Amino acid sequence: MRSRTHDTLVQRLAMMLVKLNQGEALEPRQLAEDFGVNLRTIQRDLNERFGYLPLEKVDGGYRMSPAFLGRLSLKDVERFARLSGVTGLYPSLSVDFLRDIFDSRLEPALVVKGHHYEDLRGLEAQFKALEQAIVAQCRVRFAYPGSSGAKSYLVEPYKLVNQKGVWYLAARHADKLKTFSFTRIEGLLVTDERFEPEAQMLRRIDGEEGVWLSDRTMEVLIAVDADAAPYFRRRRLIANQKIVDEQDNGSLTVSTHVGHANQVLPIIRYWIPHLRVISPKELQDELEAGLEVYLDRRPAAQDQCKA
């Protein structure tokens, strides 16, 4: 039978995990007051029971490393809280064991392998400043590299979005929603200019599976042969993917709505020769033209190697 003391401990740890998972900074003295325990108890929670977590110390408080924010579900929180609460009772539940569980939870089960989390070391202060600007609804200014050099942007920051381990800023610029790779943002400056987020744009960001935010989207129909079909039935490998037809031979027709060709073409290239664009025809033509350029370059590359 579980003791009431253990249940209270688990509840405290769960509440702390929820706060950390949501990006909140934990201040030990405030936690001790909130939970009615002494300061040493909270310090033990943070330093020993949460020793497996990627925590950072900031101004006397503790917060989750930005790369790991929002990765735990409510079930995960409960599971980790219970495991953390019994580390002193079961020696096998070591810090290394718990860290392995936590890290494995952070690695999504993708069919496309080779996925890693973006390294944000050295950018923690910029991440925090941007996060605070979003909460305070303050415009930010920064430089962002483009094909013709770096360009200055003044934007309304809406949300930081993690897509397959990479952080992006979803922001409004010139009355349009745009995305910026967080690690490419330079010279971030939080201004005193306030803005009022539009509810419709927030819904678009929350509802979009990818990071390509565009006012105009196009429907793309893709033929998937029988060899690749099981992977597309198992999970959505393309943003906004829907299966619209299944043939007797096991092949599929899937549809998606994308804001940019690059939202879908890299995935199709990965699955060549098993995928083909049915419509729009221009997208299949673009795909084939790119492959022809690649094949045309191959002999020159081979001659160079021989030389």
Same domain flag for 133 and 189: yes
The residue from 152, 184, 207 where one domain ends is 207
Amino acid at 132: Q
In the listed set 207, 230, 245, which residue is the last one of a domain according to the structure?
Answer: 207
User: Whole-angstrom Cα distance, residue 200 to residue 210?
Assistant: 17
Residue-level pLDDT at 258: 79
**Mean pLDDT of the 264-273 span:** 89
Answer yes or no: is 253 within a domain: yes
Would the CA dihedral through 17, 205, 165, 145 be positive or negative?
negative
- 100 with 137, same domain? no
Note the pLDDT of residue 85.
Answer: 53
Task: Judge whether 301 lies within some domain.
Answer: no
CATH of the domain at 64: 1.10.10
- 75 token code pair: 């079930």
pLDDT in the model for residue 45: 83
| Mean pLDDT score, 208-212 | 59
Counting runs of H as helices and runs of E as strands, what totals does the chain give? 10, 11
pLDDT above 80: residue 103? no
The confidence band for 223, taking pLDDT boundaries of 50, 70 and 90, is: very high
Domain assignment of residue 34, yes or no: yes
Q: Which tens digits make up the pLDDT trace of 11-46?
A: 787 788 888 877 888 999 999 998 889 998 898 888
Same domain, 85 and 133: no
- The CATH number assigned to the domain holding 167 equals 2.30.30.520
CB atoms closer than 10 angstroms to residue 12 = 21
| φ/ψ (deg, to 5) at 178 | -135, 160
Q: Select the more confidently predicted residue: 119 or 220.
A: 220
Owning domain of residue 273? 218-295
Mind listing the pLDDT tens digit for each residue in 168-201? 888 999 888 888 989 999 999 999 999 999 888 8
Domain count, the chain: 3
- 196 and 260 share one domain: no
What is the structure's pLDDT at 112? Answer: 27
User: Is residue 304 a part of any domain in this protein?
Assistant: no
Same-domain check for residues 260 and 290: yes
Output the domain CATH number for residue 235. Answer: 3.30.70
Q: What is the pLDDT of residue 71?
A: 66
Please check whether residue 256 lies inside any domain of the structure.
yes
Examine the domain organization and report whether 199 and 225 are in the same domain: no
> Residues 249-263: what's their mean pLDDT?
86
| Mean pLDDT (whole number) for 224-240 | 87
Residue 303 lies in a domain: no
Residues 16 and 94 in one domain: yes
- Mean pLDDT along residues 217-228: 91
Decide if pLDDT at 10 tops 80: no
Last residue of a domain, one of 106, 138, 163: 106
Q: What is the pLDDT of residue 57?
A: 82
| Whether this model's pTM surpasses 0.85 | no
What is the model's pLDDT at position 53? 74
E strands, the chain, in order: 55-58, 61-64, 138-146, 149-163, 166-173, 176-181, 186-194, 218-224, 242-246, 252-258, 275-279
On average, the pLDDT of the chain sits at: 78
Lowest mean pLDDT among 29-38, 206-215, 233-242: 206-215
Residues 97-109 as b/e (b if ≥16 CB within 10 A, e otherwise) read ebeeebeeeeeee
Asked if residue 244 and residue 171 are part of one domain, the reply reads no
Burial class (CB in 10 A: 0-12, 13-18, 19+), 20: buried
Q: Is residue 1's pLDDT more than 50?
A: no
CA distance 238 to 224: 12
Say if residue 173 is in the same domain as residue 222.
Answer: no
Burial 181-205 (b: 16+ CB within 10 A, else e): ebbebeebebeeeeeeeeeebeebb
Residue 117's pLDDT is 54
Residue 119 lies in a domain: no
* In-domain check, residue 118: no
Considering the domain architecture, whether residues 21 and 100 belong to the same structural domain is answered as yes
Q: Are 28 and 102 contained in the same domain?
A: yes
Does residue 82 carry a pLDDT above 80? no
Query: What proportion of the chain, given as a percentage, has pLDDT over 70?
Result: 73
Q: What is the pLDDT of residue 176?
A: 86
Are 158 and 228 within one domain?
A: no
Mean pLDDT of 213-236: 84
What is residue 175's predicted lDDT score, i.e. its pLDDT? 85
